[in-house]
Each structure stands twice: as structure tokens, then as C-alpha cells.
Amino acid sequence: MRTRWIAVLRTPVGAGAGLLLLGVLLLAVFAPVLWSHQANAIDTDHLLQGSSAQHWLGTDNLGRDIFYRVLVASRTSILLALLATAIAVVTGLALGSAPAILGKRGGRAAIAVVNIAVAFPGLLLALFFAVVFGVGAKGAVLAIGFAGAPSFARLTQTLVAGVAERDFIAAARIAGVGRFRMLVRHILPNIAEPLVVNATIGAGGTLLAFAGLSFIGLGVQPPAYDWGRMLGESLSGIYVHPAAALAPGVAVVIAGLAFNLFGEAVAKGLGVQVPRARWTSRTPEAVPARDSDAVLVVEDLQVSFPGPVTPVRGVSFTIRKGEIVGLVGESGSGKSLTALAVAQLIEPPGQVTAAELSFLGAPLLGRLPVRSTAATRRRLLGTSFAMVFQDPMTSFNPTKRIGVQLAEGAREHQGLSRRAAMNRAIDRLRAVRVPAAERRAHQYPHEFSGGMRQRAMIGMGLMGTPALIVADEPTTALDVTVQRQVLRLLETIRSEDDVAVLLISHDISVVAEICDRVLVMYAGRVVEDLPATELATGARHPYTRALLAAVPDLDTALDEPLAVIPGRPVDPARLPDGCAFAARCSFASDRCRTEDPVLVDQVACWHPQAQAEYSSFRTGQR
């Protein structure tokens, strides 16, 4: 954490803001010590003068030097602002963390107070408190402090609530941790960073607000002076003597910005950094499709991200008409990225290259020279290439009716009228067996259950005449019994319309039941390609076998420990030399650790296992 703060100071914006803030704070500490005398010296010979060699920014109505007064005023301005910020932070923190300490009833009261107070702009609250506490520096500090408290309390509440939902808080409660310790030990450390950042930004805001109050005469009173008061007093003379008005204004802005920019830089530095890179695409040689039955041909597909990380490293496969192919792997194996790359949905900075990537004989990669061919390609994909995503809850636009979302593509690509497209949508919803399709088409996504949404998503893919459905973990977010329904639906569509399906899943048992062929992925490579019927008995790659053995099913022997794969999946950013699975493989030899095996004869392994050895690997009986 400390290193991240240091990293922030190393960025140009962070370093600049940090230096500026340091300068402002040093000025506040030392300026009155050094220049009080010059600032208060009355020079009756030079009243209200413009800038001169003697007085850089001129003099005020008593002939005092404005430049020095601006410097000296920094202490009052910043000190009072910090005081007010402290009041706002402490009050806000107390109000905001009250729900965590007081329990339900007290917490609800605190939330209600904050909810009402936060609805009013800070300045209005400050004016209210300024009336109550009286005009003057003390009143203004209290007024601005209390006026700033509600928004800080709201922030604290939001952050506390975010942390309180997490399971470690529940775990601590079960462990018998008391409320106060919970707040101090578990909650506050986890929200400290955003609180500090916001307090810093808040200090900038407070400084400006304070200047505002002093400016209109409700803040610092004579003979004391801060930037706001100086500005207010010199405003009337702005025609004849602009420097006197502008100098304190500039000072306020610089000081306010110092706090603000520093806070923003820290906030940005502590947040997630977005990797930046250019979207470049290697145009591959167009290779004519060799297999007239092939729906999708993928040859040496690579997906890489700046870093550089290459989560998909040379995947090749062909899907034929009416074929269901399963793509299995653990998280990080590159299976979903393969699906997205095939569907042309990898967004920059991701980069997709392939020796060949063609759909129904048409190349998908590379920039097309003519605009009309680009439109043709879009239409081809729009009508013949369907996509089903993992999470049906988030994959529909929440603000549009289901029917409209289905109809949209058909209107675009098939030129259907609004009415015709909607009728088609209803018909397709019926085809995926959504009950009461007509009524359902006019509902919003949130009115659908997960399984029904996934059906609707499949129905969306059937709006055209798809040749391929790419389904990325279509059943993972669904309940077991619903999973089967969705899989069965995919199978029915395949058998009725000869549609090819690419099914991505982490669950090898799901894949076994519906697919014709299974591709097993590990660390961005296909390590084995085999018919689904042979999964149980004919797998040759040690990883495929281990994966099958590690998942308990209804026939797993109860009296023995489960087979386990030692170690953990490899990080695509740190790939070893040689076979990526070698470190976890019990058959690995020196060769495996140095030479990377390629997919030969449907298996990428130096020591493929023969079928006979299989029985010793797995002891379940049926």
C-alpha cells in the first residue's frame, strides 16, 4: 500500500500536485514569520497604488503591500480551511459509521439525518450555520465544517456499507468480534484510502468555500484578513486596481487546486490502471476454405494484451455444419477469449491475429478495403453468427423491452419493418419455448428469470438463420435443473436446423453430455481434441484425465480421497518454458520442462497416456 502511494508521487501529475501542495503548506507555515512586518507596514504615501518596483502588486487603502499580504494571508486561509475540514471529517465519520456502532435502530436514525442534510447544497447549510454561530472566523469555521459533514457522512456510509456486505465482516461477527473492534480493526482500515483521498479533495473545496464566506463578509473580520476578505474588499475597485482583486483570487485557486489535484492524482493512482495500447491488426493471407462443410475455420489464433500477455497462444480448430464442439478449460485457460476472438468482440487494447479465421468461407480478420464489403461482412455475421453469453442477468440492456432487443438485429440486417421484426421476435421466443411469448416480448429483462433470459438470448441468435452459435458458459449462472433445459434447447436447435454450436464451459461433465467433440484448453493452448464419447475412456492428455477425475460425480467412490491436481493453474503472464502443465503433471520428464509440445494427432503431450492405463487412474465404479 505504501509503495502504491510512492508510485503515485512518481507520476508527473502526482509529483506536480504533491510539490504544489507542499509549497502551499510551507508558505502557510513560514510566510507570517518572514513577512508579517512588510505586510502590516502602513505607507501613507502610496495609498491604493498600482504595481510598482516597490510594491509589486500595488497597495491597499492603507498603503499596505498587497503582495506580502497575500503571502501572509495564506496561513489564516489554509489553517481555517483545515480546521473546518477536520470538523467536517470528524463529524461525518461519526455520523457515517454510527450504523456500524449503534446497531439497527440508532443506525437508521443516523442515516435519516444524513439523507435529509445531504439533500441541501453545502453553501446553503453554511449560510444557515453562519446565522446560528454568528458572523466571524469562528462562526465560519463551524458553519463550513458542519455544512461539509453530511456529504462526508454519506461517503462514509456508502463505503462502510460496501465493506459490511463482504463475508469477512460476517466471519468476524461469527468469531465474536465486538462492534467497536469491528469498526476499528476491520472496517476503517478497508475504507481508509478513499476517505483520506476524499478528505484531501474536501480540504480544497473547504478552502474555496471559506474564501466565499469571507468574500461576502460572513467570514474573517477585520483586522484579521484572509484571501477571501481581501478579494471582497478590492472587488469594487477592480476597474482601477485589478491586481488587488486578482492576486488573492489566484492564490485561492492555486491553493485549492493543490489539494484537489493531489487528491485526484492519488485517487487515480490507487485505482485500477487501464492498460493503454494501440489497436493493430495483422492482415493475414487469405486462405480459401478447404472444407466446404466447414462453418468456422480457426488456424493459429492468438489473442494478446499489452504487458505483453498472450492468453490465447495458437489455437486451431474447425467446426462443421451441425456439429457441437465443446471448449473446456479452467479460468485463465483462454477459452472465453477464444470465443470472443472468433466472434470479433475483442476490444482494444486486445489484439487478435490468426493464420486463418474464416466463417462460412469468408475471412473475418483484417481491414476490408471497400466499405460495402465491410457492410456485407457485418450482415453475414449479424444474420448467421449467434452469440450466447454467460450471464443472462447482465447481457440484456435493462432499459429496453426484450422483444425490441430481439427485433433490433432483424430490422438492421434483414430490413424488416418494426411490426414484422416484432412478430419474428415473438415467433422466435416461442421457438425457444418461452411461455406466453407475446406478453413476454413486451416485458423488460428484469421481469424474466435467469433461465428464461438465457432462452431469450438464444432466441435472439435465432432471429436470422444462424450457421453457428457460440455459447460462452451459457449455463454457469443457472441452476442445475435449468441448465439441462438450456442445453437441451441448444441440442434441439442443432438437430432441427443443422446449426453448429461452439460451447465454452469449465464443466467437463456438461460438455460430455451434449457435445460431439471436445477441445480441452490449458494455458492458452488446445491440449487435446477428442470425441465426447471417448472422454470417459479414451482421454490421453494427463490434464484431461486429471480434470475428469477431480470433479466428483454421482459415481465417485466415497471411501477414497478425490483425485487432485497439485499446484494451481498457470498465470498467462508467467508461462514456463516447455509444457505449461509440466509442473502439475505426474508424468512430466525433463523434456516436458524444456520443450513445448504441439498438438499432434489430437494431443499436445510428450507422454500421452494409453487407454489401458486408464483404469488405474480412476477408481470409481458404476
Partner 1 sequence: MSELRFDDVTVRFGRGGRALTAVDGVDLTVPSGQVVGLVGESGSGKSTLARAAVGLAEPAGGQILLDGVPLRHRPGARRPLQMVFQDPYSSLDPRMTVGDSIAEAMPRGARRRDEVVRLLELVGLDADRVSAYPGALSGGQRQRVAIARAVAGQPDVLIADEITSALDVSIQGTVLNLVRTLQRELRLSMLFISHNLAVVRYVSDIVAVMYLGRIVEVGPARDVLGNPQHPYTKELLAAAPRRGSTALPPPDAVADAEPADPHHPPAGCRFHPRCPVGPLIRTDREHCLTLDPTTEADHRLHRAACHHAAGVLRAVGSNPPVLMELKEDSL
Partner 2 sequence: MTTTVSAPVLTTHPWLAFAVRRLGRLAGSVLILVSAAFLMIHLIPGDPVRGALGPAAAQSLVDAQRASLGLDNPLWQQYVDFLHHLVTGNLGTSITTGLPVSDVIRDRLPATVELAVAAFLVAMLIAVPLGLAMGVLTRGGRRPRAELGFTSTAVVLAAIPEFLLAVGLVYIFAVTLHWFPVAGRGSVASYVLPVLSLAIGPAAVLARICRVELLAVLQTDYLRTARAKRLPAAAVYLRHALPNAATATITVGGLLLGGMVAGTVLVENVFGWPGLGSTIVSSIIAKDYPLVQGVVLVYGVGVLLVNLAVDVILALLDPRSTIRES
Question: Which residues inside 550-609 make contact with partner 1, applying CB under 8 A?
Answer: 550-556, 558, 561-565, 568-569, 584
- Min CB(621)–partner 1 separation in Å: 9
- Min CB(466)–partner 2 separation in Å: 12
Report the residue from 509, 586, 594, 611 that binds partner 1 according to the rule CB under 8 A.
Answer: 509
Q: What's the order of all strands across the beta sheet hosting 324-328?
A: 385-388, 468-472, 500-505, 324-328, 517-522, 525-531
What is the rounded distance in angstroms from the CA atom of residue 229 to the CA atom of residue 244? 11
Give whichever of 179 and 418 is closer to partner 2, judged by the CB atom: 418
- Site track for partner 1 across 244-283, x = CB under 8 A: ----------------------------------------
Residue 550 touches which member of partner 1, partner 2, none, C-beta under 5-8 Å by kind: partner 1
Which one, of 199, 203, 218, 201, lies nearest residue 128 by Cα?
Answer: 218
- Min CB(296)–partner 1 separation in Å: 23
- Min CB(452)–partner 2 separation in Å: 10
The angle subtended at Cα 560 by Cα 556 and Cα 563, nearest 5°, is 70
Give whichever of 12 and 176 is closer to partner 1, judged by the CB atom: 176
Interaction between residue 162 and partner 1 (CB under 8 A): no
Residue 444 touches which member of partner 1, partner 2, none, C-beta under 5-8 Å by kind: partner 2
Interaction between residue 106 and partner 1 (CB under 8 A): no
Number of shown-chain residues binding partner 1 (CB under 8 A): 67
Which one, of 400, 485, 387, lies nearest residue 445 by Cα?
Answer: 400
Give whichever of 411 and 433 is closer to partner 1, judged by the CB atom: 433
Q: Are 248 and 39 in contact (CB under 8 A)?
A: no
> Scanning the structure block, which residue is given the C-alpha cell 499436445?
604
DSSP state of 570: P
Give whichever of 218 and 437 is closer to partner 1, judged by the CB atom: 437
- Min CB(8)–partner 2 separation in Å: 15
- Restricting to residues 531-550, which ones interact with partner 1 according to CB under 8 A? 532-533, 535-537, 546-547, 550
What is the rounded distance in angstroms from the CA atom of residue 389 to the CA atom of residue 454? 8
Provide the grid cell at 66.
Answer: 498587497
Interaction between residue 105 and partner 1 (CB under 8 A): no
What is the rounded distance in angstroms from the CA atom of residue 375 to the CA atom of residue 361? 16
Interaction between residue 176 and partner 1 (CB under 8 A): yes
Strands 324-328 and 385-388, sheet pairing: unpaired
Q: How many CB atoms lie within 10 A of CB 206?
A: 31
What is the rounded distance in angstroms from the CA atom of residue 441 to the CA atom of residue 232? 63
Give whichever of 164 and 277 is closer to partner 2, judged by the CB atom: 277
- Restricting to residues 466-485, which ones interact with partner 1 according to CB under 8 A? 479-485
Buried b vs exposed e over 545-574: b needs ≥16 C-beta within 10 Å? bbbbbeeeeeeeeeeeeebebeeebbebee
Which one, of 217, 165, 224, 222, lies nearest residue 191 by Cα?
Answer: 165
Residue 186 touches which member of partner 2, partner 1, none, C-beta under 5-8 Å by kind: partner 1
Interaction between residue 288 and partner 1 (CB under 8 A): no
- Restricting to residues 183-212, which ones interact with partner 1 according to CB under 8 A? 185-186, 189-190
- Min CB(128)–partner 2 separation in Å: 6
Give whichever of 87 and 342 is closer to partner 2, judged by the CB atom: 342
Query: φ and ψ at 295, to 5 degrees?
Result: -90, -45
- Site track for partner 1 across 418-447, x = CB under 8 A: ---------------x-x------------
Give whichever of 123 and 172 is closer to partner 1, judged by the CB atom: 172
Helix (H, G, I), strand (E, B) or coil at 358: strand
Give whichever of 133 and 617 is closer to partner 2, judged by the CB atom: 133
Contacts with 279 (C-beta within 8 Å, 6 or more apart), sequence order:
348, 349, 351
- Min CB(264)–partner 2 separation in Å: 6
What DSSP letter does each residue of 284-331 carry, written as one string? PPP---S-TTEEEEEEEEEEEETTTEEEEEEEEEEEETT-EEEEE--T
Give whichever of 199 and 432 is closer to partner 1, judged by the CB atom: 432
Residue 116 touches which member of partner 1, partner 2, none, C-beta under 5-8 Å by kind: partner 2
Which one, of 114, 462, 452, 505, lies nearest residue 328 by Cα?
Answer: 505
Contacts with 271 (C-beta within 8 Å, 6 or more apart), sequence order:
none
What is the rounded distance in angstroms from the CA atom of residue 410 to the CA atom of residue 479? 31
In the complex, the residues that contact partner 1 under the rule CB under 8 A are: 166-168, 170-179, 185-186, 189-190, 330-331, 433, 435, 449, 451-452, 479-485, 487-488, 491, 506-510, 512-514, 532-533, 535-537, 546-547, 550-556, 558, 561-565, 568-569, 584, 620, 622
